[in-house]
Structure 1
Amino acid sequence: MHGTLPTGVPYRPPEEPLLILHSDASILIVDKPSGLLSVPGKADGLGDCLETRLRAIHPETLLIHRLDMATSGVMVFARTPLAQRHLNWQFERRQVRKTYIARVYGHPDTDAGEINLPLIADWPNRPLQKVCHETGKPAETHWQVLELERAASRLRLTPRTGRSHQLRVHMRELGHPILGDTFYASGAALAAADRLQLHAETLTFRHPEGGEWITYEAQTPF
């Protein structure tokens, strides 16, 4: 029995089998589907998540990072405490490189750009985030147009920082909210897709065993 999300919407996680992209003695690479929590929610009925499903198969699974419930794409989990420490160290020092694919409303004026807008939690409206130049934490995103559609654009997004909802807020502030974003889009942009059109495409880091740079990719489903 699934519960209700903090937004008041019933939690209906997808039932499709997990797609494990890579597995070795140190790490698991998984393609998270949209609609599935990365970790258990605090309320009753929100225990079904990617971490829980992985531990049912691999009990030693250890969390490294998260994706928003509505975002799909590549995630890494550790299989040993040593690998977890190694990967956490890379994330903390911003050595991990990530790219995302997004479909956004409208057409940007240029082919690429940088967004530097500090973000902080919008406490009265949690879990929303907001731009705040006084108290926000630095947040930087590079974006590049890949394709123009009739009323939308396909972008590759490269976050330089890892703030909560960073890509979603930055795209809204750019004037091109991500299609299907129930938090930050409205009107035609919200109605244009039945899921958030944001996908974690690639993840690049040093393997905990040996330190070799490796990149894993999850195919964009939209």
Structure 2
Amino acid sequence: MNQEEIHQITVDAADEGERIDKYLAAREEEWSRMAVQSWIKEKRVLVNGKAVKGNYRLKQGDRVEVRVPPPEELSVDPEEIPLDVAYEDQDVIVVNKPRGMVVHPAPGNTTGTLVNALLAHCQDLSGIGGVIRPGIVHRIDKDTSGLIMAAKNDGAHQSLAAQLKEHSVDREYVALVHGNISHDLGTVDAPIGRDPRHRQRMAVEPKNGKPAVTHFEVIERFGNATLVRCRLETGRTHQIRVHMKHIGHPLVGDPVYSTTSKKYGIQGQALHAQVLGFDHPRTGERIRLEADLPEDMERLIRDFRSRSV
């Protein structure tokens, strides 16, 4: 049974004067400002042991306690949805997820997800992720295609999660970005957090963001666009999309972070999780998998290539 989470925070000098609801909403990706405000009203947020209002201005050294209520569990039904399975054994399944498929259910979106499909395909999935995320070790965005792994038992889940935390999982993406990247190799080392101005977005947030590192190399240039390979060292929400925008090269087709609303005949951002490598949780053998680019992205690349000739 899920229990409430208790978070203890000591306010730094840099955050003095910040409203507590805005401050807390920016700290964690999963904490919306609306949720924080409801916790404050329910007296789940204490400052120096006392309940406060949402407009309370923080002081250096304030001790903030946040008691996050357990999530409301939804029931998830198996659905017979075809899966492109790249690898499967008694411990792990790796799927080449199509663009447009959500990884796990959420309120208002409880069917047609990868979890629904996995429940129908697999006899067992690990229970660590709870009812909503059985087997899910990591995520990729709805409109990003490519390789994603799930665990069939708790031991496999713990091993794969530990490898992700240690940054020993190989995750390489292919992305088509706007503009001509002049250098062949680069690294973006910039913390990512919830955008305080647009709650549905992430942004580079030097003060409240979490460490995020993306390495990239140029595959091909098309004059007004560049095809790049990105390797994740960390795995923050929307990391590649945010980092490429941060250096002035947002992803082609990105409905959230791109500077243009032009349609390119692709659903969402031109991003594909091409390579996934990990140590098998039972045998220790290194598994390395690669998924070809989907047809929509291949077509988009051909179009940009023909324009640049």
**When the two structures are superposed, what TM-score results if normalisation uses the length of structure 1?**
0.87
Q: Which amino acid aligns with 1:33?
A: P
C-alpha separation in 2, matches of 1:16 and 1:60: 17
Q: For 1:68-107, list aligned pairs within 5 A.
A: 68-107=141-180
**SS of equivalent residue, structure 1 residue 143:** strand
- 2:269 is the counterpart of 1:191: no
Match of 2:94 in 1: 29
Does residue 185 of structure 2 align to residue 112 of structure 1? yes
**Deviations 1:33-82 (CA, angstroms, capped at 9, x unpaired):** 11110111222x43320111111111413111111111110011111221
Partner of 1:7: none
- In structure 1, the residue matched to 2:250 is 177
For residues 131 and 90 of structure 1, the distance between their equivalents in structure 2, rounded to whole angstroms, comes to: 25
* 2:124 is the alignment partner of 1:60: yes
Checking the alignment, whether the CA contact within 8 Å between 1:179 and 1:191 is kept in structure 2 is: no
Q: Give the CA RMSD over aligned residues.
A: 1.7
Q: Equivalent residue for 1:130? A: 203
- Percent of matched pairs sharing the same residue: 34
1:39 aligns with 2:104: yes
Following superposition, the deviation at residue 150 of structure 1 comes to: 4.1
Of residues 194, 212, 217, the one that matches 1:144 is 217
| Structure 1 counterpart SS, 2:120 | helix
Taking structure 2 as the reference length, the TM-score comes to 0.63
Query: 1:151: how far off?
Result: 2.3
User: Matched residues in 1 for 2:209 and 2:150: separation?
Assistant: 29
**Residue from 198, 204, 215 that aligns with 2:288:** 215
Task: Give the corresponding residue for 2:39.
Answer: none
Structure 2 segments unaligned to the other structure (5+ residues): 1-79, 126-134, 298-309
Q: Aligned match of 2:83 in 18, 30, 34?
A: 18
Distance 1:73 1:176 in 2: 21
Counterpart amino acid of residue 173 in structure 1: H
Higher Rg of the two aligned structures:
2
The answer on whether the counterparts of 2:190 and 2:204 sit within 8 Å (CA) in structure 1 is yes
Deviation, 1:121, is: 0.8
- Provide structure 1 residue ranges, at least 5 long, that are not aligned to the other structure: 1-14
Q: How much does 1:31 deviate? A: 0.2
The answer to whether the 8 A contact 1:145-1:153 is kept is: yes
Q: CA deviation at 1:201?
A: 0.7
Q: Aligned partner of 1:101: which letter?
A: V
- 1:104 aligns to what SS in structure 2? strand
Letter in 2 for 1:22: Y
SS at match of 1:141: strand
Give the aligned partner of residue 11 of structure 1.
Answer: none
Separation in structure 1 between the aligned mates of residue 120 and residue 140 of structure 2, nearest angstrom:
20
2: distance between equivalents of 1:83 and 1:213? 14
Once the 2 structures are TM-superposed, how far is the Cα of residue 194 of structure 1 from its aligned partner? Answer: 2.1
* Counterpart residue identity of residue 219, structure 1: D
State the Cα distance separating 1:16 from its structure 2 match.
7.5
Distance 1:210 1:16, change over 3 A: closer
